[in-house]
Structure formats: C-alpha cells, structure tokens
Structure 1
Amino acid sequence: MAATSSEPQLITLRFPNLVRVAGETIEVHIDFNVPLARKDGIENLRFEVRGVIKTQIYRQYGQVGIVHKETVPLFSSVDSLWTPESPDTGSDVVSFPFRFKLPDDLPPSFYCWEGTIRYSLEVVGERPGKLHRNRRARKIFSVTPAASQSQLLTKESLRQGWTGPWKETKHEEKIRHGIWGEYSHVYATLSIPDLPSLPIATPIPYSFQIVTETKTVDHSDHPDDKHGHPLFPAPPTLSTDLTQVLRRKIECRVRERKTLHQEKKRENFDLQKNRRLAEKDQKALDTDTVQTESVACTEAVEAVVDEPEWIPKDHKSRGIWRRSVRFTSTITLPFAPTLSSETIDWRYILQFVVPFPGLKNDLKLEIPLDLGPGLACPPPPTGAPGSSSHTYADVLPAGPAPSMLDLPPAYWGEEGHDWDDDKKS
C-alpha cells in the first residue's frame, strides 16, 4: 500500500530545483527518521553527489550491433551521515544540513542519445544482506558554468540597451522566376552585437535587412501592381513570412570512434506561439515538473519598409527597382553554453530563411553563434567557509536564477545515472 503524505517518511531530501553554477557552494537538507531506520534494519546512511560525461556510439559489424561507451568522471563525493552507533539527539527525526562545493570548471548539463553530461545526488540507507533492498532518495539537478566579471558586464550592457559595436554578416543570391531570362538579385544582412560570445538567457538584439533588385524592366513597370502581383522578387513585409532556425551540431567520441549529430531547435517569428510555449514552460515550473519543450523566445518584431527606389540603367526608360525591408527584435537563447571537451563538443548555428517564389529561390543566411554563461557564481551561504570573502557576484546583481535550462525529459529520468543500484537488483 502506498504511503500517504501524512505518514512519516524514512528519508526526506530537500533540494530546490534550480540551475546550479559551477563553483557554487550549495546546501542539501536531509531529514532522517531514526526509529523507522532502526526498524527497517538500516546500518548506514550515506550521501553521494556526482557528475559524469557519458558518450555512446552504435556500430554495426555484420549481423552484430555494438554500442561502444565511455564515461568521464567530473567529480564524486561520498559521505557517511549516520550509523546505529551515532549519538542519540533525543528526536525521532534527525536533520542533516549538508553543504558541498561544486568544482569551478564543470561543463553545462546536456543530453542527447549519443552524449550526456549529468549531475545527481542521492541519499542511501544501506541494509545488509543480498535480499534486502537499500532505501534511497534521489535528486537530479542541472549545472551551468560561471560567468566571468567581463561576461556579467556584457550581459548588463545588453539588458540596458546595446551601444557597442555590431557585426554584420551578408549574403546574396541570383534568382529568377522561371528557368530562362535575366536574373534578379536578393541580399540579406544580419547585424548582431560584436561579441566573442553571447550570454544565455539574455535578450540579444539583432537587425535583419532584406534588399531585392528586379531584373531590368521598363520604368512604367511599377513594383506595386494594382492587381496584387508585385514585380519579382518582392521582399517579405511580414515577420511571419520568415523562418528562423537554431541548430546545434554535436560531436561525440568514444576513444578512436566519433559520431556527428545535429539538433534542430525550430524557431520562427510566430510570437503568439512562442508566448504559448513560454506560458507552458512557466506552468510546468510552477508545478515542480520538468519542461517538455523550450524555444528561443523572439520578442516583438518591428518592420520598416522603405519606398521602392528606381535605378536607371542604359537609358532613363530602362532600369531596376530596388526594395528594402528591415526587421529588428531580440532573441533569448536558454540553451547550454558552447562546449569543447574530451569526449563531446557542440556548437550553434543561427539560420534565417527568406522564401521567394520559384524552385530553389529561398535566400538562406547563417552564422555561427558562440554561447557563453550568463549566471554569476553565488557567494557561499552564510556560515559556510569563505562566506565573508568578496566575490565577483557582488559586482553586479546576478538576478534570479532560471529554474531550468533547455533539457529534455530524458535528462531528468532515472535511467543512465550512476545510482547506487541496490546490489544490482
């Protein structure tokens, strides 16, 4: 029969579901019911915390398929909390406010089938004998690297309105409506802050300009046709006509073997859809469950459409029409910072697609994005060693830590973690 919430619990593990920062000193509160433990035959209560990188690659050898695996330990700590010989506190429930410091150089939490970076903690009540199952309480948590002082200053500059230099990426194509005739030209320019890396979970401003030039036409051929058939190629004037895609390219290695994997983080300018997904994520957090879908949130998009410009060519009656539209907005990326490690790497590519009528006429512009951490390492809790020291977290307000990174449900499941396996049962 399942225990009700009013029945006493043997082990209660209290650990808020927040993103943790590498180098952070964090607290875990463990409540342990001693009378229940003695009755249950528990002889040792231990606390374990660990982080690992796991990669796996499938290879087919004739009729045999083999999954090659490799595990790289990041850190591990095991501490004994209680034995039957521990002093009697006079209370049925003993509380252990346990503290531990995460290593400073931890990589971010991550999950795909070929590679994972996981962090977990576990409280185990050991029961002797092969037929006696151990008792345990478990918690999975996520980690992000700590932002440096310069990264925090950059993040604050972006929040207040970017006034620094911009980096432009340009692309152009020759397209035509049919298979014969003169080509038209289309141009795209993407402008983003000129930074070595962009902080995650921070609105990043950008500008995306599209310029089109018709083939040579008569001046009387006005670009805005009365019958709703503008001269080819007409630039899109609605943000919903564009497609915005973020891709993550992943390379996993198991010794001499490696595999490439690509994830598509589908994005677009559908603001109502993005808001619905954001509300869904927030509702999931409010009910203490993991999010099932996360998107890079695009804020309100502003469009400025220029008047068509006539550019004469050989003589005044012949020339081209140039049209231009510029979209400006911000995008927030809640994904794990870019990583290169011993057995797993990933990087990001942001792509804009501008559709035009005709076969293979879509204009695609893409740029690599290096994502950096966006959270400061909090100072140690009051009373912990080093709590009186000054850290760079005091330079700028770090703001509330996000409750979740973009991690799939499989990350939060119990499969694949290096749990105490209850004597292989």
Structure 2
Amino acid sequence: MPLPLRKNTAKIDQIISLDCSTDLITPGSLVNGVVRVDTKLAERKGLREITVELVGEIRIAIDTAGGKDDWATIRQKKSIIQGDGIKMTVWKGSSDLVQDDSPKWNKLDKESSPPPSFQSAIAESSGMISFSFSLPFPTDPALPPSFCDNVYVSYAEGIVSSVQYFVQVKGLKNENPNHESNVTLVKPFVYLPYDDSPPPPVHGIAMRTWKGGSNPTKVAMFGEKKVGEVQVGLSVPSLPSFPLSQEIPISIEITCFSPYMSANESNNPSSFKFPLPPTTAQDLELKLFRRVVAVVGKMKHRMHRRIDLGPVAGFGKKESTGFKSLVHADVGAPEWIVREDNKKEGRWRQTVQFQSSLFFDCSPTFEHENLSIRYMLDLKVPFPGIGNNLELSATLPPITSGIIANIDIPDGFNKKLDLHPSYFERVPVDGFPTAWKQTLTLPG
C-alpha cells in the first residue's frame, strides 16, 4: 500500500500513478511520494524505462504586437534546477527495480521474492509495484520562488509568465527523453527560499513616508474657481524587506485645506465644504500592484506589465480578500488658519489619520535574468470634480518569504500563496498551458 501522505494523485492510463506530498518545500527539503507502476501493462505499451525527477522551469510568453499578429508571440521555457540526486529510475523494461543499493528483481510477481517494502503492493496486484521516493530539493539560494501569473492584460503589456516546480514521472518509449511517444506525469508543488536576513520586528521602529499633494478646484457661481489644497502621507516601517504572513503597520495621513475665505467665517466650521477629507476606510483606495519584467528570445525582447492585485489593508469599497485588516480612523476637528499676508482672510484645515496593517501572501520579490517581480502600493483619494483625485504610488522594499532555516513555519502561513490556479494544473507536453495560446490573441 502507498505511504500515508497528504497527497494529490495523478495517473496515466492506469500504467503509472503518482502520489505526492503537497507540503510547502524549502531549500534542502525532501520531496516525498510514491510512484505505482503496472509493469505488465507498461511492457505491453512498449515502455523502456520510468523515471521520477524534480523539475523547475521558468516559462514566459510575450506578445510584441499587441495581439495583432499571432506570429509576434515569443515563448521561452528554461530549466532552472540542476544538481545530483534530483532524478532516479524507478523501473526498466526488464522489470529491473532501482532503489539505492538494493538488488535488482527481474520478475515481480507472487512467485518472486521482492524486497519487504513491496510485499503489500504485490500481494494486492501481481503486476503492480509501489515505489516510494524521497528527493532532496537543491539548496541553491539563486532559485526563484514559485510564481504564476496567467492573466493577460492589454496592448503593450502582453506577458504571461510562471516559475513552476513539480515532480515529473516519465515513461520512456524512446531513448530521447523529449520524444513525443514518451508519456509524462507531473504534480506541481510550491517552493519558497529561506529568508537569509530576517528583518527586525516591524512595530516600534522608524517609519518611511511617501508624500504627495494636489490642488483640487471647484467652480463657484459666475465661473469663479475656488482652489483648495490636499497633502497626503503614506507611511510604512523603514525596513530593508517585508516578510510574508506578518502584519506590517501602515498609516495614511490626509490633510485638506479649504480655499481662502473671509475671516468672518473663522467661527463657522460649516463653511468648510471643499475639499473635505475622507473619514472612513471605504472613502479611499489602497491597492497592491505587481510589476513584472520579462526578457526573452535571442533578441532579448524586454517587456513589463503592471498588475492590479486588488485592495489591501481594509481600504476601498471592495473588501480585501484573505487577511482582514481593522482600520482605525482618527478624525481631527477643523482648525482656522489665518492667512499670513492678509489677516482679513484665512482657510480651514482638517487632518484625518488612518492606521491599519498590511499582510502579504504573494510570491516573494525576485530577480532572474529572464524574469523579475516587485511590488508597489497605489493610493487614490477621490474628490468631487474632474481631475481632482489625488494619486500616490510607493515602491515597496523586497517582499521575502519570512521562513527561517531550522525554525518551524508559523501558523496561518498561506502555503499556496496567491498563485493562479493554473500553477497547480498539469503541464502540457509543450510546456505552456493551453489558455496561454488562447489569451495571447486579442480581438482585432
């Protein structure tokens, strides 16, 4: 019987099945599983050998013509895992079984004397072998984390890309491992590198602030323009990196100034009508964006795209997915500010400060010669009137795994990250999901 694993099972015409652990993999971790082989059926189908291997691939497809020409699509696939011990032979056509230094068995049926670990499998089915494997994942610190972005955007941003790791079982009919007559079975898993320099606790340290401003305009009676002022500050901890699955405090401070008016209004706060600051988290937008840069082909075609990952930290009318942040709003009272060069005039000022937390479950930041990603926050503070919205963008420090060697992964860690569902699908023979070919062509 197979080993007791938390598993996903994949099969190829009942000749081969693969049971594989779905736990998160880190550098040096063992990828465990069981390959079952119906040896009699395998021989009838003409299989010469069955192997199991750890595979890591970067796949990129870019559209250099904005969907106007199918031939302008460039696809590239690159293997990124190398080293000893990542591949082994499970079975050969002569019914040889390879398991470390154990003897080879030419006939695996009820009359043979197989190794004890296969007794139960053979008792269940005379032609079936259950082979447990344990392959060490490489410790190369340069390997990028799992990543998948199978979403097509628009003209000049036609990139789909992934970094995928999987267990691959191959039934070889031809000596060429890439021959179309061979059969392939894969089961993807998630890989994250260690966080070599974990940042200090994010609470009680200095904050880094991005500032922005604008002058919203309102047209009054008889076409007179009233010009106000808005100042915004977006603050996060001043750290070299942000770890996954840890609360990161964030604050947003918005100060609004009314247009100048007569000092007669200094005791009438209700005269402050524009631009009024937002007072609830739903009145402004804070979104996380991912910037993807791809370099592919012999001509080193370089393309980037910016992907909206949705609202974060509890801001916006659309509720954030995953971790739910509680936003605290401190709404200050309006204050009258006398105009320095004209004491007969002044304006109102009001400040609102929002406190919340960020919580990342995305693929960590990485840089590879063909593919790189990083993250940024976009803040939008809407005001009435055309062109009055204030927008501010902040490029975040690298997001890291937050996983430290020899320390247990913390509870609540999202081990599947925010990976697109296509990451966990079977990889086609040519290495690209079918949907990629469909989405890379835009309507004319």
Do they superpose with TM above 0.5?
yes
1:109 to 2:115 alignment:
no
- Structure 1 CA distance, aligned partners of 2:225 and 2:180? 82
Structure 1 stretch displaced more, 312-321 or 205-214: 312-321
Preserved CA contact (<8 Å) 1:34 1:94 = no
- Structure 2 CA distance, aligned partners of 1:376 and 1:308? 46
| Identical aligned residues as a percent | 23
Preserved CA contact (<8 Å) 2:254 2:351 = yes
Deviation at 1:63, TM superposition (A): 7.2
Q: Secondary structure at the match of 2:25?
A: strand
Change in Cα spacing, 1:189 to 1:318, as seen in structure 2 (3 Å) is: same
- Structure 2 CA distance, aligned partners of 1:64 and 1:236? 47
- The 5-angstrom pairing of residues 14-33 of structure 1 reads 14-33=19-38
> In structure 1, what is the equivalent of residue 6 of structure 2?
none
Name which of 221, 225, 239 aligns with 1:195: 239
Change in Cα spacing, 1:121 to 1:26, as seen in structure 2 (3 Å) is: closer
Deviation at 1:168, TM superposition (A): 1.4
Deviation at 1:60, TM superposition (A): 4.8
Name which of 187, 199, 213 aligns with 2:257: 213
Query: Letter of the aligned partner of 2:169 in structure 1?
Result: V
> In structure 2, what is the equivalent of residue 96 of structure 1?
132
> In structure 1, what is the equivalent of residue 75 of structure 2?
69
Q: Secondary structure at the match of 2:246?
A: coil
Query: What residue ranges of structure 2 are gaps of 5+ in the alignment?
Result: 1-9, 98-104, 109-113, 123-128, 150-158, 432-444
TM-score when normalising by structure 2: 0.73
- Structure 2 CA distance, aligned partners of 1:397 and 1:299? 22
> In structure 1, what is the equivalent of residue 434 of structure 2?
none
Q: Secondary structure at the match of 1:19?
A: coil
Preserved CA contact (<8 Å) 1:271 1:298 = no
Name which of 82, 91, 107 aligns with 2:91: 82
- Structure 1 CA distance, aligned partners of 2:89 and 2:216? 70
Name which of 405, 425, 428 aligns with 1:413: 425
Q: Secondary structure at the match of 2:423?
A: helix
1:175 to 2:219 alignment:
no
Aligned length: 369
- The 5-angstrom pairing of residues 139-150 of structure 1 reads 139-148=187-196, 150=197
- The 5-angstrom pairing of residues 212-361 of structure 1 reads 212-221=256-265, 224-225=269-270, 230-254=272-296, 255-267=299-311, 269=314, 274=319, 277-278=321-322, 297-313=323-339, 318-361=345-388
> In structure 2, what is the equivalent of residue 385 of structure 1?
none
- For 1:216-241, what per-residue CA distance to the aligned partner results, in whole angstroms no more than 9, with x for missing partners? 1234436653xxx8521110101101
Q: Secondary structure at the match of 2:385?
A: coil
Preserved CA contact (<8 Å) 1:235 1:324 = yes
Change in Cα spacing, 1:237 to 1:223, as seen in structure 2 (3 Å) is: farther
1:402 to 2:414 alignment:
yes
Q: Secondary structure at the match of 2:21?
A: coil
Root-mean-square deviation (CA, aligned residues, Å) is 3.3
Structure 1 stretch displaced more, 135-144 or 169-178: 135-144
Q: Secondary structure at the match of 1:240?
A: helix
- For 1:307-356, what per-residue CA distance to the aligned partner results, in whole angstroms no more than 9, with x for missing partners? 11111225665211110100000011211222222111222220111111
Change in Cα spacing, 1:189 to 1:249, as seen in structure 2 (3 Å) is: same
